[in-house]
Amino acid sequence: MQNLIKDLDILIPEKESCEVVKVSEDTNTGKNRKLYIESYGCQMNFSDSEIVSSIMTQEGFDTTSDFNLADVIFVNTCSIREKAEETVRHRLMHFKGLKKRKPDLMVGVLGCMAERLKHQLLEEEKIVDLVAGPDAYRDLPNLVRQVDDGSRAINTFLSREETYADISPVRLNSNGITAFISIMRGCDNMCSFCVVPFTRGRERSRDPHSIIAEARDLFDKGYREVTLLGQNVDSYKWSPNPELKGKAQIEKAGDADIVNFSMLLERVAQVHPELRIRFSTSHPKDITDDVLYTMKKYDNICKNIHLPAQSGNSRVLDLMNRTYTREWYIDRVDAIRRILGTDCGITTDMIAGFCTETEEEHQETLSLMDYVRYDFAFMFYYSERPGTPAAKKLKDDVPLEVKKRRLQEIIEKQSLLSLERNKHDIGKVYRVLIEGYSKRSKEHLQGRNSANKVIIFPAGNLKPGAYVDVYVKECTPATLFGEVVL
């Protein structure tokens, strides 16, 4: 076991890297053209790539996991960090070399970076033939035809209605066990550091009937866990009369026809008791006790909440336009612990070195981490994003070396907290959904418990997709290790 721990242990990552997901399976149905997709950034982008794949397969494309075999390459992009955009630009330069060998190769940029930079991508990056924003994916077949006819194509229109509710996603990189379900799009929060409201548009919720139908279909196909996705799931609210507001909406539609997040969560949990439910992301200003009590009511709703704090200081939170204080955040954490217990996993996002942040305010972030005892955190230092309220109104005046030092202190703090929280699990038995083999050994399987912690254990004769009870024997800051209890 000790050797296995040494091989598998990883550091808690800062949110600097840009994750990449490729089309993992080749489809060969005899169609004339092949599509290759790379996705960068958040889970919403990965979910969007599944929608794009569905649209394009209906349009006469097979998919490939080898970009060298592709007729069309789509790069689904992220703009949340400067590092993410730099990674995409470097990738486009790589495809430029490929296009010299294959002049008919079509390259398209999708997603948030496409929305933010628009025509600049077509003008500066001569490799790019097509640009489509997050709400323009239905138009991709038409955009491809425009490029086929010799023109460059662009559609970055932001919609107030588009949710892609009627499109059945093609599951990419699927283990056949876990899947994402997008329940809403866009964001209305306007955090001063964030580009999402400008790249993904206004918030709108998807019809709950289509969400429940998708969850039921996934379960019938053998999936045993779904993650409900939204920029802010707690503000999910659907009504058959979206043009009505406030009291008029309630009087016209009736309480039973207005579905909020706690109601949606309950309905999805009722699809089947063997279907696990997760969700991300929650906003501290919106998460309610109703949601927490719904989580407590159903064993198949996983006890894990991603609750981004961003800072532990109220003044900095105000500058970030997070619309809550340190005290409000602590109240929500206390509610989670009171209603769901200390085993409920709480994870977060933290930003080091936001505009005008003082050393004392940085210390308040560290003290908040000590109070909450997070299981995991995405951590990064502030980088100014063009077009955001912070870029327009606030001075990015914390020196880079100070940002990096504060970030390192946050990372070191979280590594200790993660280890402490994992040690708390030693000697306990957890129900685990087997997701597949561990990354380092076919002799071991891995899955996650309700709190979203990865547990590694000997494979034996067990298969992915089954539920097992695992006794935790050892841990690292990132992983639990145990053995199956028969």
Same domain, yes or no: 370 and 394: yes
Residue 311: name the closest of 280, 357, 344 by CA. 357
Domain that holds residue 192: 178-239+248-423
Is 411 inside a domain boundary? yes
Is there a domain that residue 149 lies in?
Answer: yes
Question: Strand pairing partners for 346?
Answer: 305
Top-confidence residue, 218 or 26: 218
Q: Are 68 and 98 in contact, with CB atoms under 8 Å apart?
A: yes
pLDDT at 249: 45
The pLDDT, as a whole number, for residue 318 is: 98
State residue 250's pLDDT score: 41
Confidence at residue 89, expressed as pLDDT on a 0 to 100 scale? 86
Q: Find the CATH number of the domain harbouring 95.
A: 3.40.50.12160
Q: Is residue 4 part of a domain?
A: no
pLDDT tens-digit profile of 154-202?
999 888 888 999 888 888 777 899 999 999 999 999 999 998 888 888 9
Strands 304-306, 237-238: pairing is unpaired
132 and 108 within one domain: yes
Q: Number of folded domains in the chain?
A: 3
Percent of the chain with pLDDT over 90: 69
- Identify whether residues 377 and 474 lie together within a single domain: no
Asked which of 35-44, 65-74, 392-401, 407-416 is least confident by mean pLDDT, the reply is: 35-44
Same domain, 131 and 189: no
Better-predicted residue by pLDDT, 65 or 211: 211
- Any idea which residue has 């659907």 for tokens? 238
In a domain? residue 5 = no
**CATH number of the domain that 477 lies in?**
2.40.50.140
Last residue in a domain, options 96, 124, 155: 155
Residue 367's contacts (CB-CB under 8 Å, 6 or more residues apart) are: 312
Whether residue 265 is predicted with pLDDT greater than 70 in this model: the reply is: yes
Contact 238, 258 (CB under 8 A): yes
Q: By the 8 A CB rule, do 45 and 39 touch?
A: yes
- What's 318's domain CATH number? 3.80.30.20
Mean pLDDT of 300-327: 98
Percent of the chain at pLDDT > 70 equals 91
Q: Is the pLDDT of residue 325 over 70?
A: yes
Question: pLDDT tens across 103-132, in order?
Answer: 899 999 998 888 888 778 887 667 899 999
Mean pLDDT score of the chain, rounded to an integer?
89
pLDDT, position 340? 98
Residue 373: CB atoms within 10 A of its CB come to 15
Confidence of residue 19 (pLDDT cuts 50, 70, 90): low
Does residue 39 fall inside a structural domain? yes
Which of these ranges, 75-79, 187-191, 460-464, has the smallest mean pLDDT? 75-79
- Amino acid 174: pLDDT: 77
In this structure, the answer to whether residues 47 and 135 fall within a common structural domain is yes
Average pLDDT, stretch 432-452? Answer: 94
What pLDDT was estimated at residue 2?
Answer: 35
Pair (464, 444) in one structural domain: yes
Same domain as 146, residue 40: yes
Q: Are residues 343 and 447 in the same domain?
A: no
The pLDDT, as a whole number, for residue 137 is: 95
Name which residue leads in pLDDT, 288 or 27. Answer: 288
pLDDT for 266: 97
In a domain, 11, yes or no: no
Confidence of residue 79 (pLDDT cuts 50, 70, 90): confident
Residue 134: inside a domain? yes
Q: Tokens at residue 335, please?
A: 């509610």
Sequence-distant (≥ 6) Cβ neighbours of residue 201 within 8 angstroms: 134, 135, 158, 159, 160, 185, 186
124 in the same domain as 31: yes
* Cα torsion 306, 311, 312, 313: sign: negative
* Same domain (yes/no): 62, 206: no
What is the predicted pLDDT for the residue at 248?
A: 45
For residue 160, which of 142, 140, 181, 187 has the smallest C-alpha distance? 187
287: which residues sit within 8 A by CB, 6+ positions away?
234, 305, 307, 332
CA-closest candidate to residue 32, choices 48, 49, 56: 56
Name which residue leads in pLDDT, 93 or 405. 405
How much is the pLDDT for 20?
A: 56
CA dist 404 and 415 (Å) reads 16
- Note the pLDDT of residue 441: 86
Facing residues of 436 across strands?
446
Question: Does residue 165 lie in a domain region?
Answer: no
DSSP-H helix ranges across 227-325: 246-253, 261-269, 289-297, 314-319
Residues 30-47: tens digit of each pLDDT:
678 999 999 887 888 888
Residue 5 pLDDT exceeds 60: no
pLDDT digits (tens, 9 = 90+) for 219-228: 999 999 999 9
Q: Which of 402, 431, 422, 322 is nearest to 368 (CA)?
A: 322
pLDDT at 16 over 70: no
Please name the helix (run of DSSP H) or strand (run of DSSP E) that holds residue 130, with its range, or none.
strand 130-132
Together in a domain, 348 and 456: no
99 shares its domain with 149: yes
Range with the largest mean pLDDT of 82-86, 161-165, 209-213: 209-213
Residue that finishes a domain, picked among 155, 190, 213: 155
- Cα gap 80→83, rounded to integer Å: 9
Predicted pLDDT of residue 247: 46
pLDDT at 172: 79
pLDDT at residue 256, as a whole number: 53
